[in-house]
């Protein structure tokens, strides 16, 4: 192993070509300098100096003189870079945040952060809560801004602000969801401000499997739910046929469960686009099982045209993706 101190002493001796002057310049004894040079020669198993008068460098010594300076410069640069990272003078920081929350919070905090740490390069990653949580746990991002509570091993949470959330619901929407009960629902909302009173309204984020909204309505604890025997009816189907799939769901403890599936369609350019469909919302009793058989049509519609290729179907439990199976669509 190369000792940097040996290299430093060697460089001074190589420049002076005189051990006495070099030792005096280094404020050490000539014997101590000789020992450092000898240790370096043993390390490389070569002779670095021709011990003649005058003192000269061997071919190996001349080569090491060039490399020694480069190594010592690299050492200094490395120490400075690591020190700057330690002191938050330089480096990178990856922040995960949802699109809507990022538009509100980041403009308030990023200018202040960048003024205090101008050498930190910021990277922003957008996604829903489950995607960002996965990225955080897998080390793809350094931190995420999300709703509390968030519990995971080796993750520290720090409250940064309280959000005031306002919701506007048209009377027509309430009338469709709760025929003849609009005024009653309004009174209950004024008294309790409980958003769960509106769970039958067509929330867009609820349909999209947004974890934050699902949590509000009690669809959480997906870890207690098990999916088994997820199978496709066929590995390949033709245009106009149905893709049939089945699975069994069970829970270790009584859990409110929202079951959905994401169909990965092949687009005209060969890429996939996804659409999420609801299967069921149930209160699954502890240690109980329920089997589902679902059919999905692959007939062309006015609003959707199908293309051949590898499609996929993914099961989603309370906003968390479970298993995915692929199948072929032929035209």
> Peptide bond before 149: cis, by omega within 30 degrees of 0?
yes
Q: What is the pLDDT of residue 276?
A: 84
* Domain of 181, in residue numbers: 167-201
Which of residues 59, 86, 113 is at a domain's end?
86
In a domain, 210, yes or no: no
What percent of the chain shows pLDDT beyond 70? Answer: 89
Minimum mean pLDDT among 35-44, 126-135, 283-292: which range?
A: 126-135
Q: What is the pLDDT of residue 234?
A: 93
188 and 268 in a single domain? The answer is no
> Taking residues 25-40, what's their average pLDDT?
90
Q: Are 308 and 329 in contact (CB under 8 A)?
A: yes
> Taking residues 177-188, what's their average pLDDT?
82
In a domain, 156, yes or no: no
79 and 97 in a single domain? The answer is no
In a domain, 275, yes or no: yes
**Cα–Cα nearest to 210, from 144, 276, 289, 283:** 276
Rg (CA), the chain: 33
Q: Are 227 and 323 in contact (CB under 8 A)?
A: yes
Q: Give the side-chain half-sphere CA count within 13 A for 249.
A: 28
In a domain, 213, yes or no: no
Integer Cα distance of 227 and 317 in angstroms = 9
Which of residues 35, 64, 86 is at a domain's end?
86
**Cα–Cα nearest to 70, from 15, 17, 4:** 4
Integer Cα distance of 64 and 70 in angstroms = 10
pLDDT digits (tens, 9 = 90+) for 187-206: 887 787 676 677 666 664 55
273 and 300 in a single domain? The answer is yes
Q: Which residue has the higher pLDDT, 313 or 93?
A: 313
In a domain, 74, yes or no: yes
188 and 172 in a single domain? The answer is yes
292 forms beta bridges with 247
User: What confidence tier does 150 reach under pLDDT thresholds 50, 70, 90?
Assistant: confident
User: What confidence tier does 53 reach under pLDDT thresholds 50, 70, 90?
Assistant: confident
73 and 117 in a single domain? The answer is no
295 and 322 in a single domain? The answer is yes
Q: What is the pLDDT of residue 232?
A: 94
User: What confidence tier does 218 reach under pLDDT thresholds 50, 70, 90?
Assistant: low
Average pLDDT, the chain: 84
In angstroms, the Cα distances linking 50 to 5, 43, 58, 111, 186 are: 21, 17, 6, 61, 97
- In this predicted structure, the answer to whether residue 47 has a pLDDT above a threshold of 60 is yes
Integer Cα distance of 151 and 172 in angstroms = 39
Q: What is the pLDDT of residue 294?
A: 94
Residue found by looking up tokens 């469960």 in the block = 257
In a domain, 214, yes or no: no
DSSP-H helix ranges across the chain: 4-16, 19-26, 30-44, 59-86, 99-116, 129-137, 171-177, 182-192, 204-207, 211-216
Q: What is the pLDDT of residue 198?
A: 72
In a domain, 119, yes or no: yes
Residue found by looking up tokens 């960048």 in the block = 114
| Sign of torsion over alpha carbons 77, 78, 80, 84 | positive
Q: Is the pTM of this model over 0.75?
A: no
Number of H helices, E strands in the chain: 10, 13
pLDDT digits (tens, 9 = 90+) for 2-13: 788 888 999 999
CATH number of domain containing 71: 1.10.10.10
CATH number of domain containing 326: 2.60.40.10
In a domain, 152, yes or no: no
189 and 96 in a single domain? The answer is no
Instruction: Dig out the tokens for 68 from the structure.
Output: 């020694």
Which of residues 68, 86, 104 is at a domain's end?
86
- In this predicted structure, the answer to whether residue 147 has a pLDDT above a threshold of 80 is no
What percent of the chain shows pLDDT beyond 90? Answer: 27
Q: What is the pLDDT of residue 196?
A: 67
229 and 324 in a single domain? The answer is yes
95 and 132 in a single domain? The answer is yes
311 and 265 in a single domain? The answer is yes
Integer Cα distance of 315 and 213 in angstroms = 18
DSSP-H helix ranges across 45-122: 59-86, 99-116
16 and 43 in a single domain? The answer is yes
Domain count, the chain: 4
40 and 135 in a single domain? The answer is no
Q: Are 145 and 100 in contact (CB under 8 A)?
A: no
């Amino acid at each position: 192993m190369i000792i940097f101190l040996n290299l430093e002493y060697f460089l001074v001796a190589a420049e002076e070509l005189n051990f006495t002057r070099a030792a005096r310049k280094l404020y050490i004894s000539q014997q101590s300098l000789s020992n450092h040079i000898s240790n370096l020669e043993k390390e490389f198993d070569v002779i670095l100096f021709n011990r003649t008068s005058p003192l000269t460098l061997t071919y190996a010594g001349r080569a090491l003189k060039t490399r020694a300076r480069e190594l010592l410069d690299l050492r200094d640069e490395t120490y400075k870079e690591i020190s700057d990272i330690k002191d938050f003078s330089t480096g990178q920081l990856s922040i995960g945040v949802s699109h809507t929350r990022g538009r509100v919070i980041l403009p308030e905090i990023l200018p202040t952060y960048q003024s205090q740490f101008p050498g930190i390069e910021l990277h922003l990653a957008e996604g829903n809560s489950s995607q960002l949580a996965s990225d955080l746990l897998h080390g793809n991002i350094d931190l995420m801004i999300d709703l509390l509570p968030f519990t995971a091993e080796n993750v520290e949470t720090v409250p940064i602000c309280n959000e005031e959330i306002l919701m506007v619901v048209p009377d027509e929407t309430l009338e469709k969801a709760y025929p003849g009960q609009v005024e009653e629902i309004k009174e209950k909302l004024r008294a309790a401000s409980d958003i769960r009173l509106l769970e039958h309204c067509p929330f867009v984020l609820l349909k999209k499997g947004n974890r934050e909204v699902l949590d509000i309505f009690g669809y959480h604890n997906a870890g207690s739910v098990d999916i088994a025997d997820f199978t496709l009816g066929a590995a390949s189907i033709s245009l106009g046929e149905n893709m049939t799939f089945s699975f069994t769901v069970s829970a270790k403890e009584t859990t409110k469960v929202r079951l959905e599936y994401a169909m990965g369609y092949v687009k005209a350019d060969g890429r996939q686009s996804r659409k999420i469909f609801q299967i069921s919302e149930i209160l699954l009793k502890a240690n109980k099982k329920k089997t589902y058989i679902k059919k999905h049509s692959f007939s062309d519609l006015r609003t959707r045209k199908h293309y051949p290729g590898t499609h996929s179907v993914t099961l989603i439990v309370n906003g968390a993706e479970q298993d995915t199976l692929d199948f072929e669509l032929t035209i």
